[in-house]
Structure formats: C-alpha cells, structure tokens
Amino acid sequence: MSKRDLLSLDPISAEEIEWLILRAKVYKKGGTLQPLKGYAVGLAFEKVSTRTRVSFEVAILRLGGHPIFLSFDDLQIKRGEPIADTARVLSGYLNGLVIRTYEHEKLLAWGASATVPVINGLTDRHHPCQALSDLFTIYERKKKLKGLKLAYIGDGNNVAHSLLEAGARVGMKVAVASPKGFGPDPEIVKSAEEMAKKHGGSVSVEEDPYWAVEEADIVYTDVWVSMGQEKEKQKREKRFKPYQINQTLLASARPDCLVMHCLPANRDEEITSDVMDGPRSIIFEQAENRLPMHQAILERWIGAQKDSK
C-alpha cells in the first residue's frame, strides 16, 4: 500500500469523517488501542505551537509511539538544506511526520519527498486537523452535523478554509463573513460549494456579520492577525473591529448556539471575555477534543501503514 498524506481535507470523504469522529469518541472515553506501538513520529515545526504540539505529542504517546519534536531552528533546513533532502533522510528514521509551517507549498514539498505519511499540523492555507476536531466537538454537543448552520466571522484564513471544506462534506450550512478583501480563497469557496451540493449543505460568503450569524447553531471566530502578519496589525484591527464576537452580535444567532475559537485568543479583540467565558462557549472543550481526534488521525494515517505491511 502506498503511503497516504493528510495535507488538506480535499480528498477526505464524509464516510471517513464519520469514522474519525466515532474513533475519537472511543479515545475520549479512554480507549487503549496502541496502533503506533514501536513507532517514532516526528513533529517538524516552523511555527510556534501550544495546542498542536502538546496534543500530538500526548496522542502519539497514548497510541504507543514515541514523539520526536524537531524545531526548524534545530534542523539543517535553517542552513539551506532543501526540504526534499531533509524529508528523505527523516523518512529513514521515522514512521510519520507532522509538519507545521507557513507556505502550503512547503508542506507539499514534504509530502512529495517523504516516503512516510505526512500530516498537516497547520499551514497558511489549511488547518485540517483543527477542523476535524471541531466537527467532533460539534457532534458531541449537537448529536448531529448535517443541517446545522456554522457562522464563521473574521479573517478568511486557513481555519476558515478547512471549516468550509469540512462543513461541506457533512452537509452543514457554512456562512462566512469577512471584510472586503479578507475573505476566503475563491477557489476553495467554489470547491466547497460543489461539495456542499452533493451532501445537502450550503456555502455562502458575505461581508455582513449579522447576516452570517442569523439563526446560527455555531458561531466561530479566529484571531485577526495570524503568525507572519504582524506588520498588518493596525490595519487589520481597524478593518475587523465590526466583526467582534460579542453579546450584540450573538443576539442574532439561535438561543442555544455554541461559540467556538481555535485559540490562542486575543480577549476583547475578536471575542469579548464575557462571551468567551460565558455559557455558550465551548472553546476550552474544543481545545481538549483535539487530543482524541489527533489519536484517531494518527491511527488512520500512520497506524494504517503498519497494518498494511
């Protein structure tokens, strides 16, 4: 069996998402499967991380494997060694790689050169593991996904892209509201629209945040200034100010709506503290659920290689 990568949600089916959610549920309840026993998995990170690093390290340990953290600052990549050469060398030592980097093209280079499975821990274009964890959290709370409305308010970034792709595959109604010029990539929107039609969902992108949250079951946001965009901070804060998640905006959503944020959050900027700590917020539950979902992902993409040999 040839190796399989998780670079984005593009090749993943609704059936596979269902499997991942059910498997994550098993792990959250204390499932002790160890599909990575005897395996070493590298975490090569160019971007700093709290949740992604710790959840993946613990997930690998719980699955019987050994995580090896590799900062780009400590690799020869920093001195100019090509990604292709590094990927081929690490493939000789490891059974899988989790990559967290900036440009998505760098991740594609890792995938093309590594002979072991590569999992996207985050790029500027996609954050698939986050979106899969979010679907798991929503399913646990709402007991379904199909037909629910998810309103994403803010920057049309990597998280927005993966939520569009994920929601479309499970028949959700995904509404994105961003300031003009800051919306999600049109190609990703178009692809998500086509996928949503197949599964009975919908995708819509507008500028009005009140339109997006109307009757929403889930209201989701992210930081206005992502890593690498610090020079745009003042410009972005001014443009995104009307997109803050606060009590006034939430009044347009359903009374039982859930509030989500992938973290880290800038309190009282993209989301007010009273909302973040309020009864509708499942933000910290959402963060916790990354661990069992990452266990499911690691089993599916890396553990499956073991079973096929």
Pair (165, 283) in one structural domain:
yes
Domain range holding 83?
14-126+290-308
Alpha-carbon span 258 to 231, nearest angstrom: 32
d(CA 68, CA 41): 6
Does residue 225 share a domain with residue 138?
A: yes
Distance CA(309)–CA(306), nearest Å, equals: 6
109-153 tens-digit pLDDT: 999 999 999 999 999 999 999 999 999 999 999 999 999 999 999
Is pLDDT of 307 > 70?
no
**Could you report the per-residue pLDDT of 218-248, keeping only the tens digit for each?**
999 999 988 777 888 889 999 999 999 999 9
Tell me how many domains the chain contains. Answer: 2
Q: In this predicted structure, what is the pLDDT of residue 97?
A: 98
DSSP 189-254: HHHHHHHHHHTT-EEEEES-HHHHHTT-SEEEE--SS-TT-GGGHHHHHHHHGGG-B-HHHHTTS-
| Inside any domain, residue 45 | yes
Q: Does 46 share its domain with 73?
A: yes
What is the per-residue pLDDT for 94?
Answer: 98
Q: Which residues are catalytic?
A: 100, 127, 130, 222, 262, 290
* pLDDT at 291 exceeding the cut of 90: yes
Q: What is the pLDDT of residues 160-176, one digit of tens each?
A: 999 999 999 999 999 99
What strands, in cross-sheet order, belong to the sheet with 40-45?
66-71, 40-45, 96-100, 118-122
Say yes or no: 138 and 277 in one domain.
Answer: yes
Tell whether 143 and 280 lie within a shared domain. yes
Closest residue by Cα to residue 116 from 268, 303, 294, 271: 303
With respect to residue 161, please indicate whether it lies within any of the assigned structural domains. yes
Examine residue 2 and state whether it is found in any structural domain, yes or no: no
Q: What is the CA radius of gyration of the chain?
A: 19
Please check whether residues 71 and 200 belong to one and the same domain: no
Lowest mean pLDDT among 164-168, 265-269, 302-306: 302-306
- Give the residue carrying structure tokens 């001014």: 238
Distance CA 283, CA 105 (A): 30
Whether residues 177 and 151 fall in one domain: yes
Give the per-residue pLDDT at 31.
87
Mean pLDDT (the chain) is 96
Residue closest to 101 by CA, chosen among 168, 163, 156, 47: 47
Whose CA is closest to 15, among 278, 256, 199, 188?
Answer: 199
Residue 293 CA to residue 55 CA, distance in Å, equals 9
- 264 and 303 housed in the same domain: no
The answer to whether residues 138 and 253 belong to one domain is yes
Statement to judge: residues 139 and 277 lie in one domain: yes
Neighbours of 277 (CB within 10 A): 11
Residue 30 lies in a domain: yes
What the block records as the tokens of 39 is 């395996």
Residue 5 domain flag = no
Three-state SS for 21-75 is HHHHHHHHCCCCCCCCCCCEEEEEECCCCCHHHHHHHHHHHHCCCEEEEEEHHHC
**Which DSSP category does 267 fall into?**
B
CATH code assigned at 145: 3.40.50.1370
Q: Let me know: does 63 contact 295? Beta carbons within 8 Å.
A: yes
19-48 residue pLDDT tens: 999 999 999 999 899 999 999 999 999 999
Is residue 237 assigned to a domain?
Answer: yes
Residue 278 lies in a domain: yes
If asked whether residues 89 and 135 sit together in one domain, one would say no
CA distances from 140 to 25, 146, 148, 285, 308 (A): 8, 13, 13, 10, 31
Residues 66-112: tens digit of each pLDDT: 999 999 999 999 999 999 999 999 999 999 999 999 999 999 999 99
Asked whether residue 234 falls in the same domain as residue 221, the answer is: yes
The percentage of residues in the chain with a pLDDT greater than 70, rounded to a whole number, is 98
Q: Is the pLDDT of residue 1 over 70?
A: no
4 occurs within a structural domain: no
> Is the pLDDT at 207 greater than 70, yes or no?
yes
pLDDT band at 309, cuts 50/70/90?
very low
- CB count, 10 Å around CB of 32? 9
Task: Please state, as a whole number, how many other Cβ atoms lie within 10 Å of the Cβ of residue 74.
Answer: 10
Cβ pair 137, 102 in contact under 8 A: no
Give the chain's count of helices (H) and strands (E): 14, 9
